[in-house]
Each structure stands twice: as structure tokens, then as C-alpha cells.
Amino acid sequence: MSRPPILTPRKTVGNPTPRIDAIERVTGKATYSGDIHLPGMLYGRILRSPHAHARIRQIDVSKALALSGVKSVLTHENCTVVWGAGSISGGRQYADEIKKITRHKRYVFSNPVRFFGEPVAAVAATSRHIAEEALRLITVDYETLAFVLDQEEALRPESVKIWPEGNISLDANNEAEPEVYRRGNVEEGFRKAAFVFEDRYTTTYVQNAQMEPRVCVASWVGDKLTLYTPTQGTSNCRHDMARDLGIPDEKVRVICQYMGGGFGNKNQNQDADLIAAVLAKEVGAPVKLELSRKEDFIGVHGRWPTTQYYKVGVSRDGVLQALQLRGYSGMGPYRKNSGAIGGIELYQCPNVESSVYPVYTNRAVSGNYRAPEFPQGFFGIESMMDDVAHKMEMDPVEFVLKNMTRKSNDEAPYSNYTLEDCIHRGAEAFEWKKRWHAPGATPGAIKRGAGMSFMTIRSPLGQSSAVLRLDSNSRYTVFVGVTDIGAGAKTTMAMIAAEALEVPLSKIDVVWGDTDRCPFSVGESGSRTTDMTGTAVIEAARDLKRQIAEKGLPKGQDALIASASPKPTSEGKVRKSFGAHFVEVEVDTELGRVGVLKYVAVHDSGRILNPLTATSQIKGGATQGIGMALHEDLLYDRRTGQPLTAGYYGARIMTHLDAPEIEVIFIESDDGYGPFGAKCIGEAGIVHAVAVVGNAIFNAIGRRMKDLPITRDKILGALA
């Protein structure tokens, strides 16, 4: 077996490096948005709908306004701001044109309300307790309406229409069309296939549940708004705020220094940012708007639940002939993201057809959560294929090696290709041949099983910016518009600068997370920051080195300033990160309990710039995936449309005792693009972590678990 070389660490990149701000993080000195306190600041609170779908007949805020300390109350009657990034987008949030044309506008206070938890009113008061008291004094007369919670049910003719056009979510052109992809001819493929298999898989709404709930401090000085808010993209947030409030970009300053995670929950601007800004303008004082954990759980967004129907045709020797997916994604009542279902791209197959319907429901809104369309899609298709391998009496690893993607969509070349190496390396480290066995073969009540899954995920290049300053005291300051969501962007940017400038890391300072001080950055979403902003830092360093060569080092009060806004491309090649996960589980067939015994995660994310933080990213992603596979869920009462399990306990988020040891192995590569060859990593760990657990459970008990989460009751039911 060929073993790709491990790249030699360079002077700075490639060496395990503690975060440059680690001390702030362990001493409590790191300032998060909620730690900001401004003089004269008021507190904001939001009243939310207690119904899944209702028309507001009347709101009476007079008692709330009469309460001592209450300064302002907003409702749909006096605040008609439309939150552009809250709907329509189909993943195209940054296109202002879409907001102008869309028929499905999302007002920050809507009437009718379309999900339990939709904002109905907001209060600003002199203390948070008074603001909470005021919420209780607002009386709302609701006319409750029929509601629908399930994405398939929503398409039945008898279901309530959440929007007049029906329940298929409109796309950016206001059209109710599924997302369709085709190559070859599936009907012909199925006719030619020796065997055809069909099945249905479902996944549920899981919430990002980042530790820091949404909070925003809005402050106006004259006509300029300053917003302290946790956002995965200060530049995008600023532009969205300016557009939604109808003011120029330069009249908005967004500051985000430290931030308690997001996993996609904090992209762009949020309705809380808009509400805080409007309240602050109304009262003429800074306003801190805080969301409770429950509000964050149901009021922001989570991963879209899906129903996936697969039809797979294979030849007698187990080669894919045709692959079809019909999928339904529950978007909640606003389409905050595409609702796509990833996965068909994992396989080489001449005939492929995929139609995915994004569907409105009266549940919490769906949006970005770490690799938005992948973990749920990969669970569906990789469970399906594992089952096909079983029915064809093939080792699942052999089946994958025979059928996995070799070119992007079977045509475009990858910038490099290490998928096969990832799988071989993982199988070897995991001892696949020893651990995998005939399904359900372990004797006794406690059964062991082994599973594998693999992945590819986009690692695109794109435009971002960086500014570098060199002072006469030999300090290099990097100005980058990144925020540090937890992946360590600040440290990575400093390491890239040190490497590119050929100076020690200790000489680098970073100014980040402030639109008045930093240039545009892409935003910490889509695993893009290292690739895009990192490339800009390298280009700026090149510029600075050129200037130093020309002018010499600055002396006295001189300074050298360099900048770059590169827009690199991968020249027609498709950049992807690759990976393979292997897991062994133990299933107690009497109690239904699943324990993870061994977990090996092999990844090619290009050159690993900081092995310390990169390893943490993979461990975290895999662990979140295990939670999604085994227990995370947001259950609804079907009679009332109310969510029942919002929060850490209810949704059963992974804890210390749940989390197994994740063994991380990097296969490094340098495809010649990106900063020193680095590729996508932040989302890479979660995408196939759900599928691998399901496959291992199948190997343990010989029953295919098709509906997430794979809870104890479902396992016991399957075994009964």
C-alpha cells in the first residue's frame, strides 16, 4: 500500500502551537460580547409566540409601558424591519437583490407568527428583571391556526398552507422548485442493474447549541451604530445590518472579540441584532439584548431535518449503475438556507438523479449548522450503501473502494486525491479486518460491531483581505476581519504571517473582529477562513517583504503598510478535503445502550498548519456527530406544536461521560493551492461521523437503524 509522505513542519506552520490568546481564555480575561457594559445601558428582552401558527388579533402593551423602568416596547405594529438573512436566501444571503424581490419576507416581528418562539414583541428597560416583568404584562390576543410539523406531511394537499403559494420553499427567483441534479439516465441505469435496492432514511433537527447564547449590545452615537455581537463574520454582519436598517455600511461598526462558538448559528446578522439596534435607537441609550438558552434553541436555527428516499442499482459484481435520491428538508416557515442534502457526490456512478424539496413547516427555523447539508445526507446515503454492500455480501470497505468518487461528479479532476489513502490508513490503524464481522455475530447480550464511513467536502478558494503593518520596533501587526469562533483563526493568521514573513511568532500581533479596524474577511463559515484570509495574509506578507527590500526596515516614526485582496482560483480543479472514520461500538441488546469503544478519524485537510488546534477541530466534530447519531433531538408535541426538549438536558447534548477518545490521524498533502497547501478542516470532522456510528450499530446487532437519533427505544424496538 502506498503511504503518502508526511509533510515536514516549516519554521512555524506545522508545529503544534498553543493559541496566542490562550492565557486570556483560561484566566477569564477574554471579553465576550455579553461581558460588555456601557454607561447608561438598558436591557432588552423578547416576547415570543406560544403558538406554532397564529394570527395576532391584538397586542396590548399599555401595562408593560406603564411599569416603572420600561423605556420602549416594539411590536409588529411599530417595527417593520425586514431581516434579509433570515429567509429566502437559499444560501445566497449576501445578494441584496434577493431581499428586494422575495415574496416571503421575514419581518423581525411577524403577524401571523409561524413557529413557536417567533418574536412578537421586545422590551427595553433599566434592568433585565424589569424587562422580564414587562414581558409578562403584554397581553396578546391570538387566533390560533392549523399547523404542520413534518416536511412530508406539509406537502399533502390537506395540510395548512403556511404561505399562500404553498409549502415548497421559494428559491431566490421566487419559484417553488426542488433542487435537482442529473447526470446520465437513471431509468436506463436501473434497467441495466442486476439488483435494485430502495429505502427511506430520516434525520432530525439538531441544534448548534454553542455555549454562548446570542447576546447583542447596540449603541448609537449620532447616526452611527456600534454593535457588539457574536458573529461569524463581522463584514457580512455589518453589510446585512446596514441593508436591513437602510443606512450606509460605514454607519455600522461591528465588533466581535471573543465568541463562545457558533457552528453556523452566528453567521451574518441575526434578528436579535436588528431588534437591539432598533430598541437602542428608540430609547437613545445603549441596549443589551440577551437571549435565554431556550430562546437560542428555538429562536435562532438548527440543522434541517430530512426525509430521504434512495434507489440504488448495482451490477452483479457490486458496481453502481444508477443512484436516485428524492429528499425533503424541513426548513421551518422561512428558508434560511438551501435545504440541500449532500452525499450523492461521494460515489462514482454513470446515472445519477437527485431532487430535494425544501419544505416549509411550523417548526423552529432551519439554517447553518457545521457542514449544513452533509451529516444528515451522508448518514442517509452511507447507511444505504452499507446496506447495499451487506446485501451484496461484500465487505463495506471493499464496496466503498470500488464505488467511491474518483473525479468530482465523475468529470472534473480534484486538485489532489487521497481518499484511498485515508481509507487504507484508517483500516490499518483501526484493524478493520479484525474488528468487522458478520452482522450481529457477537454471542451474548452485549454485541460489538465495526463501521466505516468516508467523506469529501468542499475546500474552495476565494477573495478575502489582509493588512500588515511593520513598525520601527520590529512588531508586525496583522489586521484581519476574522472572528475567533473557537477554531483558532487568530492564532492561525499569526502563524501564517510569521511563516510568510520569516519572523518568530512572538513578533506578530493580530488586530481582529472589528469592522472599523480591519479589512473585509469572508466570515467564519464554510471552513473558509484559513484558506481565504490566510492566502490574503501571505500575499500581504509578500508585499511587505518587497517593500522592506526596497526601502529597508522602518526607523523612528516610519511604518510600512502592506495589503492584499487576492482572488485565487484552483484553475478548473476541484479542491476537496478527504477523510475516513472507523468506529467500534458496543450495544447492550437488553438496555439498548450504545457505547463507543474505539474511534479512528483519518483526514486529509492539506497541510496541517497547527496540529494542536486542528486535532481539536476533528475531535470536536466527530463528537458532535456521535451525539447527532445517538441522542440529540428537538421533540415537538404533535397536538400543540410546542417544542419539548429545548436545552442541553432535553436535547441530550454530548457530555464528558458520553465522549469517547477520538484518535486523529492526518494524511497531509500539498496541492499547491491555499496557504501552504492547507484545506478545509472545521466542518470535516462531523460530516461522516453520524453515518459511521449507524453502520457500526448495524454490524453489532444486524438491524439497520434508519431514523435518527438512534435512541435506546428504537434499538430495542428493532430487536423485538
Partner 1 sequence: MSKRKREISRRQFLEGTGAVLAVATAGPALKGQLSSASPPVTDSAASGAPSTAIRLVVNGTEHRLDVEDRWTLAEVLRDHLGLTGTKIGCDRGECGACTVLLDGRPVYSCSNLAVWADGREVQTVEGLAQGEQLDPLQQAFVEHDGPQCGFCTSGQLMSAKGLLTRNPRPTPHEVRSAMTGNICRCSNYNRYVEAVLAAAAAGGATTPKRGSGRSAQSAKPSAAVAATKSRRGTTIAAASAGGVR
Region 524-553 residues binding partner 1, contact defined as CB under 8 A: none
> 315-332: buried (b, 16+ CB within 10 Å) or exposed (e) per residue?
eeebbbbbbbbbbbbbbb
Q: Report the residue number, 457 or 662, with the smaller CB distance to partner 1.
A: 662
CA distances from residue 140 to 43, 76, 143, 272 in whole angstroms, order as listed: 22, 12, 10, 21
Of 44 and 84, the one with the shorter C-beta distance to partner 1 is 44
Torsion of CA 650, 653, 658, 664, to 10 degrees: 170
CB of 288 to partner 1, least distance (A): 7
Q: What's the rounded Cα separation, in Å, for the pair 556 and 558?
A: 6
Angle made by CA atoms 442, 446, 447, in degrees to the nearest 5? 35
Q: How far is the CB of 38 from partner 1 (least distance, A)?
A: 6
Cell of 495: 502563524
Establish if 559 lies at the interface with partner 1 (CB under 8 A).
no
Give whichever of 25 and 161 is closer to partner 1, judged by the CB atom.
25
CA pair distance 449, 649, nearest whole angstrom: 28
Q: Is 661 in the site for partner 1 (CB under 8 A)?
A: yes
Among 233, 264, 486, 677, binds partner 1 (CB under 8 A): 486
260 lies in the site for partner 1, by CB under 8 A: yes
Interface segment toward partner 1; rule CB under 8 A; list 20-28, 162-170, 462-470, 637-645 = 20-28
In whole angstroms, the minimum distance from the beta carbon of 581 to partner 1 comes to: 15
Nearest distance from C-beta of residue 469 to partner 1, angstroms: 22
Query: Contact between 211 and partner 1 (CB under 8 A)?
Result: yes
Whole-angstrom distance, CA of residue 637 vs CA of residue 644: 7
Examine residue 159 and tell whether it contacts partner 1 (CB under 8 A).
Answer: no
- Indicate which single residue of 5, 28, 444, 556 sits in contact with partner 1 (rule: CB under 8 A): 28
Nearer to partner 1, 439 or 579 (CB): 579
Output the DSSP codes for 367-414: ---SSTTHHHHHHHHHHHHHHHHHHTT--HHHHHHHHB-SSBTTTBPB
For residue 548, give the amino acid letter.
I
According to CB under 8 A, which residues from 69 to 88 bind partner 1? 69
Could you give the CA distance from residue 138 to residue 231 in angstroms, rounded to a whole number? 30
Determine, following the binding rule CB under 8 A, whether residue 221 of this chain makes contact with partner 1.
no
373 or 484: CB nearest partner 1? 484
Q: Which is nearer to partner 1, 217 or 389 (CB)?
A: 217
Interaction residues for partner 1, span 278-307 (CB under 8 A): 288, 290-295
Q: Read out DSSP for 272-329?
A: HHHHHHHHHHHHTS-EEEE--HHHHHHHT-BPPPEEEEEEEEE-TTS-EEEEEEEEEE
Out of 316, 656, 713, 720, point to the residue binding partner 1 (CB under 8 A). 656
Per-residue binder mask for partner 1 (CB under 8 A), 29-68, x = binder: xxxx-xxxxxx-x---x-x--------------------x
For residue 133, count other CB atoms closer than 10 A to its CB: 18
Contacts of 506 (CB under 8 A, 6+ apart): none
User: Which range in 91-99, 340-348, 356-364, 653-661 contacts partner 1 by CB under 8 A?
Assistant: 653-661
Of 25-33, 180-188, 340-348, 404-412: span binding partner 1 (CB under 8 A) = 25-33
* 19/447 with CB nearer partner 1: 19
Alpha carbon distance 274, 252 (integer Å): 12
Cα 381 to the center of its chain, rounded Å: 20
- Residue 682 within binding range of partner 1, rule CB under 8 A: no
Based on CB atoms, which residue is closest to partner 1, 46 or 349?
A: 46
Q: Look up cell 470536536; give the residue.
A: 620
Supply the DSSP symbol for 207: B
Q: Is 353 left (phi over 0), alpha (psi -120 to 50) or beta?
A: beta
422-430, 444-452, 457-465, 656-664 -> range binding partner 1 (CB under 8 A): 656-664
127 scored as a contact of partner 1 (CB under 8 A): yes
Of residues 12 and 616, the one with the C-beta less far from partner 1: 616
Please report, for residues 124, 219, 369, 687, the alpha-carbon distance to residue 618 in angstroms, rounded to integers and kept in the order given.
41, 38, 15, 10
Give me the least distance between CB of 435 and partner 1, in Å please.
21
